Structure 1
Amino acid sequence: MTRVLIITGSSLGERLAGPAIRARAMARVLAADGHDVTLATTATLDDDASEGRFRSVALRPRDDAAFDALERVVDLIVFQGHAMEQFTRLASTDRVVVVDAYDPMHLEMLEQGREEPRATWDLMVRSRVSLLNHQLVRADMVLCASARQRSFYLGQLAALGRISPTTYENDPSLEHLIAIAPFGLEAEPPVVTRPALRGVVPGIDDETKILIWGGGVYSWFDPLLLIRAVHALAQRRPGTALVFLGTRHPGQRPMGVINDAIDLAEELGALGNSVIFNEDWVPYDERGSFLSEANAGVSTHHAHVETEFSFRTRILDYLWAGLPMVVTEGDTFADLVREERLGIAVPAGDFDALADALETVLYDDAFAAAARERVEVVRQRYLWETTLEPLRRIARQPRRAPDVEAAGGRDALAASARDLLDPADRPGFVRDLRVAWHHLRHAGAREVVRRARVRRSKE
């Protein structure tokens, strides 16, 4: 049994955002494996948030005494977000540390900060880069969400000096340093707890074709093109409705794109008719009622670097509910939708392609049925017990990264990374002497002579 501490910066309660959903799934899976698990949130904790197999606690940011009390009695610490800057001990702990970097926050901030003054935007992005570097240079293992993200983070780890003979020698695939652990879904299908849309929302009945937008509305998405496409489709197919499931993300202020979307729907005369905004955030345990009443899921976004490395967790809800889907090309899930025939992937910004795709998934019964069959097959790959296997593996046998061990600790390893910011010695006699001394110590005089001859032959 391993004693595990999991830290999330997201609230734990009735209304859960993605980071909390993931952290809670980690706690549940590891507890089911027989480990002693504590799930801590640096945000808010509802009284009924705890589950039987693991303990949930509130941990106030910068409360070092409370963190130290937890850290002393665990073997493994898994965290998301800002925990390493909130608790000073975490950066130098001798416990095994797993950084959950499934959300590339520095890329996300390129879009999330766009509405801020330029100086503030620059500061927000730089702070996230610094935050991630602070974590990645100290982690025993990094978790990411996709093969694309892994390639991206490998570059960042290489720049920090983490890809070295020490980490490579006994792990040439570097699977122990950085592993893919996608966001997952529950094994049990959605449970309908109450009527959610049909017969509840005016104008939506049993005959309505419902297109659902799961999750929040953020600036990197493209809800405006979608609203225009749905409005156009509803002119031909009056029984069409687009439902935005949530517009108030727990713990975040709404972005301007939400107001733009509502204004556009009102301008088109679609607001409350073919376009419905749920003004709250659906409780986590109730989302199955909404998804079960939908005919298809949708996610549209702009084309930029955030898209390339994103992992749209709402797509997993569509898989969970067995929904065919329409998505924008450019991210990991668009590739999956296209390759596995789960729906239709359309080019970013292509109004006609989007409108045609929506009509197909909603009104072509044969196409929708075939897509649902494929969804049922693919969803088995994304069960939490499967996606979290790298975390389960390190929990079974916690071990520090070899370069952390070799450096003598996390702070020492981080200090060595600072040398990578400057080039090596300038060419010249002093550097030649230093190189010769290095080879004399490690390979002997014969090697020094051999290298000198090789060098002269090239001059």
Structure 2
Amino acid sequence: MSNGTHEHPRILICTPDSIGEQMAGPAIRALEMAKVLSAGCEVRLVSTQQADLTRAGITIAYADDDALRRHADWADAIVFQGHVLASHPWLSDARYVLVADIYDPMHLEVLEQTRYLSQDDREHVSAITTEVLNTQIERADFLICASEKQRDFWLGQLAALGRINPRTYDADTSLRSLLAVAPFGIGDEPPVQSRHGIKGTVPGIGADDTVVLWGGGIYNWFDPITLIHAIDRLAPRHPDLRLFFLGVSHPNPNVPEMEVSMRTRELAAELGLADRVVFFNEGWVPYAERADFLLDADLGVSTHFDHLETAFSFRTRILDYLWAGLPIVATDGDTFASIIREHQLGRVVPPEDVDALADALERSLYGDGEAERLRANVRTYADRMRWSTVLAPVAAFCRNPRRAADRGVESVRRREQRSLEIRVEALERSTSWRITRPLRWAAGKVARRAMRRAQ
């Protein structure tokens, strides 16, 4: 670790996701964090998966284990996501100041991701993922999550693991110096459209059509099926209505198409909507070009099921809707539902309710003056979600990196050793740790086999 005698703190940000023109949420968050922190710190952004992006003022690179060691020794503090600590357990060394970004409750995600695995495999991966997170929570000097609701959830886990103790409590009775809220954010600059990404460009979608946008990947914890049925119900009386799925093929090559994505395509075809009312973007929109698509939409939608993952999720695609000033229709139950209601950003509907969803879409899109009223509310609320604002707790810590008050406590060290032994043994039997969301590869493989058998 650096000795900290230089003018600007040296901050290493490490993600296991691919950094490039096409990026998913973890890499986007890491990049935007690097931009914000570079205002007062010397920043390096590395990916343990792939990096082929350049940004002025920021060093961006791919790092294998040897290279990551050199970057870590350079840094005053290390911000990491996902399975980085599990993949490189030497980072637990006491000389490093670690910031754990736990905005993604992976151990809840895998409960959905592993439904198509055997019970033994499912329990094994769930245990590994929980232990990966527990190790981060035990070792980190500072942690960040995505919402106050998430923070309450993570505080419970911190308490169970002994991180809420006399030393951390006496250092800060609010514990915000240990666990802070730093949500996903939106660009400080407004979106600018350089070309039409959807209207008048995608065959079957005219320049004057009304576009409902599904702004991201189609994953198993989402419910695009109810959405397809709602669109099918509305299309006969609104012939200009179009539904566009922005992303199908994930930019991380290790993440295949999920089972629900295949079911969504099949349903659109069965109902005669595919390539006529419902459209799928087969690739993944480059991050720098997403405004071209967002600004061609009239409304953003996010539908999901009623389950535990939903309760503590923070739907990052909704941030893009806010950035683009889009009215939002979303399923109830997650963090954004209460925000949409309170600030009148759109409409919230019960899970798996086709009638309610169809009605919400129709009122938001075709109600007299409704779309513009909602857009104005969205623009007002969006100002508080700029990256420079939401990442302020991270920037404050990185300007003065410090060890947690309970570093070196014997009880914590003993459990760290036990968890390290368990983790190493588990990782030797698993390839799931190589990517941020460990079960997409396995679940996708099982789903494809099942589909082939059914054909």
Inter-partner Cα distance in structure 2 for 1:120 and 1:405? 35
Paired residue for 1:169? 170
1:342-387, Cα deviation, whole Å (9 max, x unpaired): 0000011111110000101111141111111111111011101111
SS in 2 for 1:345: strand
Kindly indicate whether structure 1 or structure 2 has the higher relative contact order, using CA contacts under 8 Å at least 6 residues apart.
2
1:405 shift after superposition: 4.4
Paired residue for 2:46? 40
Paired residue for 1:195? 196
Matched letter for residue 414 of structure 1: E
The question of whether the paired residues in 1 share the 8 Å contact of 2:29 and 2:184 is answered with yes
1:58-114, Cα deviation, whole Å (9 max, x unpaired): 112xx2x32221122210000001111222321124121100000000001111111
Matched, 1:101 2:66: no
Q: 1:283 aligns with which of 283, 286, 301?
A: 286
Q: 1:310 aligns with which of 295, 300, 313?
A: 313
**Any residues of structure 2 matched to 1:408-447 within 5 Å, and which?**
411=413, 414-415=416-417
SS in 1 for 2:304: coil
- TM normalised by structure 1 equals 0.87
1:123 shift after superposition: 1.5
Inter-partner Cα distance in structure 1 for 2:228 and 2:45? 39
Matched letter for residue 179 of structure 2: I
Inter-partner Cα distance in structure 2 for 1:413 and 1:386? 36
Paired residue for 1:421? none
Q: 2:303 aligns with which of 276, 300, 303?
A: 300
Inter-partner Cα distance in structure 1 for 2:414 and 2:397? 23
Matched, 1:273 2:283: no
Q: What runs of 5+ residues in structure 1 fail to find an aligned partner?
A: 419-459
**Any residues of structure 2 matched to 1:208-219 within 5 Å, and which?**
208-219=209-220
The question of whether the paired residues in 1 share the 8 Å contact of 2:22 and 2:251 is answered with yes
Inter-partner Cα distance in structure 2 for 1:271 and 1:15? 25
Q: 2:325 aligns with which of 299, 322, 327?
A: 322
Inter-partner Cα distance in structure 2 for 1:67 and 1:322? 39
The question of whether the paired residues in 1 share the 8 Å contact of 2:51 and 2:62 is answered with yes
**What RMSD, in angstroms, separates the aligned Cα atoms of the two structures?**
1.5
Matched, 1:17 2:24: yes
The question of whether the paired residues in 2 share the 8 Å contact of 1:216 and 1:249 is answered with yes
1:287-336, Cα deviation, whole Å (9 max, x unpaired): 10011011000000000000000000000000000000100000001110
Inter-partner Cα distance in structure 1 for 2:136 and 2:108? 16
Paired residue for 1:118? 119
SS in 2 for 1:402: coil
Q: What runs of 5+ residues in structure 2 fail to find an aligned partner?
A: 1-7, 421-455
Residue identity over aligned pairs, in percent, reads 48
The question of whether the paired residues in 2 share the 8 Å contact of 1:404 and 1:413 is answered with no
Matched letter for residue 106 of structure 2: M
SS in 2 for 1:210: strand
Deviates more, 1:204-213 or 1:336-345: 204-213
Inter-partner Cα distance in structure 2 for 1:268 and 1:417? 51
1:158 shift after superposition: 0.5
1:410-445, Cα deviation, whole Å (9 max, x unpaired): 745735999xxxxxxxxxxxxxxxxxxxxxxxxxxx
1:191 shift after superposition: 1.8
* Higher Rg: 1
Inter-partner Cα distance in structure 2 for 1:52 and 1:201? 33
SS in 2 for 1:249: coil
Matched, 1:366 2:369: yes
Matched letter for residue 62 of structure 2: A
Matched letter for residue 50 of structure 1: T
Matched letter for residue 133 of structure 1: N
What is the aligned residue count?
Answer: 411
The question of whether the paired residues in 1 share the 8 Å contact of 2:211 and 2:241 is answered with yes
1:115 shift after superposition: 2.1
1:119 shift after superposition: 1.9
Paired residue for 1:427? none
